[in-house]
Structure 1
Amino acid sequence: MAGHSKWANIKHKKAAQDAKRGKVFTKIIKELMVAAKTGGSDPEANPRLRQAISTAKAANMPSDTISRNVQKGAGELEGVDYEELSYEGFGPEGVAITMDVLTDNKNRTVAEIRHLMTKFGGNLGENGSVSWMFEKLGQIIIKTESINEENLFNDALDLGAEDFSKDDSDFIVTSNPSLTAEIAEGLEKKGYELISSKIEMVPKNIIKVPESKSSKLLNLMNKLEEHEDVQNIASNFHLIS
């Protein structure tokens, strides 16, 4: 029975990983389609599409999947028509939250987002209520394995990056959003392995939230991140013990 239990746990873990990967792919596919719809199917002439393709490649999305969904977005193949929206508001402890959404049913999505915000002690605000608290930046995350930090720093700056930092396990290259896809492509050509490449809303100031008061806030953030229509989400809090 122990062996059966171990196999069941492995299958459950793999199913959870597959589900998470599926959600990531769904979000990327939506962005590929909208980018192609708004700017055309040629990535050389469409920076947003170039960025979306870079993100898809970093997530190991198959090339034929990328190509097919670009064609759908450009109208060359039949596909779903997504609307691009932004929602923002305040969560528990006065934390500002902003999110980018791609949806095929605006009324359904706003109702679901409002329900989640209210359920966990927050409220959905009007456009502009918190977005001024954030700055839009490109962020490229790179694996640290077998990398010379000084070489990466110089290569990133030469390609046009604005900042460079390191956390516990990865290097983070920050750039002007309009240059992010170009910088990511340049780093890949130089042999660096990218974990992700995307546009982020970075908070200008941070609110410190004690862990003892964070339960509702963390639950809200998890539920919003899991929502299939939420493409990107940002907040301005940092947990303290």
Structure 2
Amino acid sequence: MAGHSQFKNIMHRKGAQDAKRAKMFAKIAREIIVSAKSGLPDPNSNPRLRAAIGAARAANMPRDNIERAMKKALGGDDTTNFEEVRYEGYGPGGTAVIVEALTDNRNRTASEVRAAFSKHGGNLGETGSVAFMFDHIGLVRFPKAVGSFDEVFEKAVEAGADNMEEIDDTFEVTTSLDGFAAVRDALGDAYGDQAEAKLIWRPMNTVDCNEEIAQKIFKLVDLLEDNDDVQNVYANFEISDEIMARLG
């Protein structure tokens, strides 16, 4: 009986992982569609599309899924128009949260995001209510296999990057908002679709959270990220290693 229960638990976790992967692929596909529609359909001439395809490959998204998204964007039979929308608010413990979405129905998405904040002890605010607590910067990320730290760092600096760090198995290059396009294009030309490039919101300061607040924040972020329209969630919370170990 214990073996059967363990098998069921493993299958449940695998099912949850598969569902999460499918949702992630759907969000990347949406970004590919929007990118392809917003510029030239050739990734070599459309840096945003190249970055979207890079993100797809970094996530091990099947080639068929990528090609299907491209065909949907260029086939002419898809009349869905996605808008880029940003939501801002306060989460549990006074944490600041920014939510970026691609939606074909602003009212639906706003209602769902507001409900998520309310359910987990937060409040959705007006645009600009927390953005001032973050730096809006560019991020270009590569697998370390593209080359040595010194080589990539030199190319990044020549292109106008602000900083580069080695984090786990990746190089992460950060840029100013104004310098992002030049750095993205230069490093994309050097390393092709292995690059993942996007604008992010980096908190200027962080809020230390106890275990109770941390649990609430994780639930809020999980619920927001589970929304089909939500592409990215940024927040300024800080959780100690000790609390993270207890939360598993």
| TM superposition score normalised by structure 2 | 0.80
Q: CA RMSD in A?
A: 2.9
| 1:58–1:197 CA contact under 8 A, matched in 2 | no
Matched-pair contact (CA < 8 Å) for 1:160–1:183: no
1:185 to 168, 185, 188: 188
The aligned residue for residue 49 of structure 1 is: 49
Unaligned runs of 5+ in 1: none
Question: Is contact 1:184-1:197 (8 Å) kept?
Answer: no
Q: Which amino acid aligns with 1:178?
A: A
Q: Which amino acid aligns with 2:98?
A: T
- For residues 65-96 of structure 1, what are the alpha-carbon distances to aligned partners after superposition, in whole Å with 9 as ceiling and x for unaligned? 32332332345343633232111111122211
The 5 Å alignment of 1:1-241 reads 4-74=4-74, 76-78=76-78, 80-144=80-144, 148-168=148-168, 170-175=170-175, 176-179=179-182, 181-186=184-189, 188=191, 196-240=196-240
Cα deviation digits, residues 94-132 of structure 1 (max 9, x gap) = 211111111222222111111110111111111111223
**In the alignment, is the contact (CA less than 8 A) between 1:51 and 1:180 conserved in 2?**
no
Aligned partners of 2:168, 2:62: CA distance in 1, in Å?
29
1:29–1:172 Cα change, 3 Å: same
- Whether the 8 Å contact between 2:57 and 2:194 is mirrored in structure 1 is no
Give, in angstroms, the shift of residue 22 of structure 1.
0.7
Structure 1 Cα separation of the partners of residues 44 and 144 of structure 2: 29
> What 5-or-longer segments of structure 2 have no aligned partner?
244-248
Decide whether the 8 Å contact of 2:155 with 2:187 is kept in 1. Answer: no
Q: Percent identity?
A: 41
User: In terms of mean alpha carbon deviation, does 109-118 or 167-176 score higher?
Assistant: 167-176
Contact 2:86 2:98 in 1 (8 A): yes
Higher mean displacement: 215-224 or 153-162:
153-162
User: Partner amino acid for 2:65?
Assistant: T
Q: Distance in 2 between matches of 1:4 and 1:97?
A: 41
Distance 2:88 2:131 in 1: 7
Q: 1:70 to 1:160 in 2, by over 3 A?
A: farther
- Partners of 2:146 and 2:82 in 1: CA distance: 41
SS in 1 for 2:21: helix
| Count of residue correspondences | 238
Separation (CA, whole Å) in 1 of partners of 2:2 and 2:93: 45
Checking the alignment, whether the CA contact within 8 Å between 2:86 and 2:100 is kept in structure 1 is yes
1:3-41: CA deviation from partner (whole Å, max 9, x where unpaired): 544543443332222112111111111111112222242
Other structure's SS at 2:209 match:
strand
